[in-house]
């Protein structure tokens, strides 16, 4: 049986995305065909489209890697996913190679990223491996007031900082600092708070900081008003006033900007751990020896392992991480207008495109 897939493809960087139609056969063994419920628009998509960041799959290509939907066809060995509501991992390790078997699927050389290695989720349907899919309990979802389309954002904006928090080993009583509280950083604030940390949120946009009042931020600091040593002094004062350690701060760099990375690095203290979560093509100048002098650690964070998806989803279904105030749905047919508005920072919430 064949299925018609409607896609919005990037033909060339910066040119209007074009609607195309194609036919695909039923999934092969180990694959599923997912009817897309929603696909979030990520900073990475805008980087591919506007900033010349190269995709691994040649153009034309359908972007989009934050995808939720329903399985409508299955290949051999994947029948258990029939009619399941699912979130598709933004990075899908093969699960079979040496690094995958050792729990290091983030560096799997055979990994697939929708909208980068293969056609992504700005489409009516997507064909993906069944391995690593995250099943959604629709009865619990109904109780949250969220739709399946809303959950698409979990596939990157929620799971990526969740993996970072796990790598930093966030514990109750920790001081967590999030630099850049946009689409990913805002959820980093909520996740660190849900794990028991006191959270300092730092950004240059006051509206973003204000939006996190009541959503996990214990202190907000605008780095346009306070920076450098004064910024670090403000964090130290907050830690002292709240009985928190002056050492071992857990720092998330989520801005994906050069200045944000410099700010985050400048907050290193003894035993600190710095997670580089945001991506930028910018180069920065830092004194690398600070890692040595502070006995600190800097760690990268590529995507999120599929095994972290269920616990990240649990935080949302349990109401410990709020999504509704931070997302906004748009029809997929408005993708060009949404890209333009998102690039111009005219949309403050995470856009979710719905076929």
The mean-pLDDT minimum among 43-52, 58-67, 200-209 falls in 43-52
The mean pLDDT value for 77-90 works out to 98
Burial of 241 (0-12, 13-18, 19+ CB in 10 A): exposed
- Return the ∠ at Cα 325 (arms to 324 and 328), rounded to 5°: 70
Instruction: Please give the Cα distance from 234 to 182 (Å, whole number).
Output: 22
Instruction: Please give the Cα distance from 97 to 139 (Å, whole number).
Output: 36
Higher pLDDT, 3 or 236: 236
3-class secondary structure, 66: strand
Instruction: Please give the Cα distance from 252 to 261 (Å, whole number).
Output: 10
Domains in the chain: boundaries? 2-156+304-354, 159-300
pLDDT at position 155 is 98
The mean pLDDT value for 220-236 works out to 96
Longest dimension (CA), the chain: 65
Distances (CA, A) of 63 to 8, 32, 41, 60: 8, 19, 9, 10
Q: pLDDT at residue 2 above 90?
A: no
Contacts with 174 (C-beta within 8 Å, 6 or more apart), sequence order: 192, 195, 196, 197, 198, 244, 248, 249, 250
**Order of strands, edge to edge, in the sheet holding 198-203?**
219-222, 198-203, 175-179, 250-253, 273-276, 297-300
What digits encode the pLDDT tens for the residues 120-171?
999 999 999 999 999 999 999 999 999 999 999 999 999 999 999 999 999 9
pLDDT class of 348 with cuts at 50, 70, 90 = confident
Percent of the chain with pLDDT over 70: 100
What digits encode the pLDDT tens for the residues 277-305?
998 889 999 999 999 999 999 999 999 99
- What's the whole-model pTM score? 0.95
Dihedral angle, C-alpha 128, 134, 135, 141, nearest 10 °: -120
Q: How many residues does the chain have?
A: 355
Q: How far is CA 104 from the centre of its chain?
A: 18
For domain 159-300, the CATH class is alpha beta
What digits encode the pLDDT tens for the residues 303-322?
999 999 999 999 999 999 99
pLDDT at position 203 is 98
DSSP string, 31-57: EEEEEEEEEE--HHHHHHHHS-PPPSS
Q: pLDDT at residue 1 above 80?
A: no
Q: pLDDT at residue 25 above 90?
A: no
Mean pLDDT of the chain: 96
Among 3.40.50.2300, 3.40.50.300, 3.90.180.10, 3.40.630.30, what is the CATH number of 2-156+304-354? 3.90.180.10
Dihedral angle, C-alpha 46, 48, 49, 50, nearest 10 °: 70
């Amino acid at each position: 049986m064949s299925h018609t897939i409607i896609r919005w493809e990037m033909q060339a960087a910066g040119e209007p995305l074009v609607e195309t139609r194609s036919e695909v056969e039923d999934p092969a063994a180990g694959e599923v065909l997912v009817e897309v419920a929603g696909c979030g628009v990520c900073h990475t998509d805008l980087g591919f489209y506007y900033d010349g960041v190269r995709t691994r799959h040649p153009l034309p290509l359908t972007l989009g890697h934050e995808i939720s939907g329903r399985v409508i066809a299955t290949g051999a060995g994947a029948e258990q996913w029939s009619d399941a509501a699912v979130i598709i991992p933004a990075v899908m390790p093969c699960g079979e190679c040496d690094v995958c078997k050792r729990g290091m699927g983030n560096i799997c050389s055979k990994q697939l990223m929708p909208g980068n290695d293969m056609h992504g989720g700005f489409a009516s349907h997507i064909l993906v491996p069944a391995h690593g899919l995250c099943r959604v309990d629709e009865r619990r979802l109904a109780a949250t007031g969220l739709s399946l389309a809303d959950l698409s954002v979990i596939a990157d904006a929620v799971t990526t900082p969740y993996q970072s928090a796990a790598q930093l080993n966030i514990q109750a009583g920790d001081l967590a600092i999030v630099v850049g509280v946009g689409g990913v950083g805002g959820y980093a604030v909520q996740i660190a708070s849900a794990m028991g940390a006191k959270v300092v949120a730092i950004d240059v946009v006051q509206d973003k900081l204000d939006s996190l009042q009541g959503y996990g931020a214990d202190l907000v600091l605008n780095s346009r008003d306070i920076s450098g040593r004064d910024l670090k002094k403000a964090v130290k004062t907050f830690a002292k006033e709240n009985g928190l350690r002056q050492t071992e701060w857990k720092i998330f760099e989520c801005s994906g900007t050069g200045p944000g990375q410099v700010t985050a690095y400048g907050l290193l203290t003894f035993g600190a751990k710095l997670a580089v979560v945001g991506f930028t093509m910018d180069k920065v100048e830092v004194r690398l020896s600070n890692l040595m002098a502070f006995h600190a650690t800097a760690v990268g964070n590529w995507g999120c392992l599929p095994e972290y998806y269920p616990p990240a989803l649990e935080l949302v279904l349990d109401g410990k991480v709020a999504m509704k105030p931070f997302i906004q749905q748009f029809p997929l047919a408005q993708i060009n207008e949404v890209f333009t508005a998102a690039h111009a920072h005219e949309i403050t919430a995470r856009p979710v495109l719905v076929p």
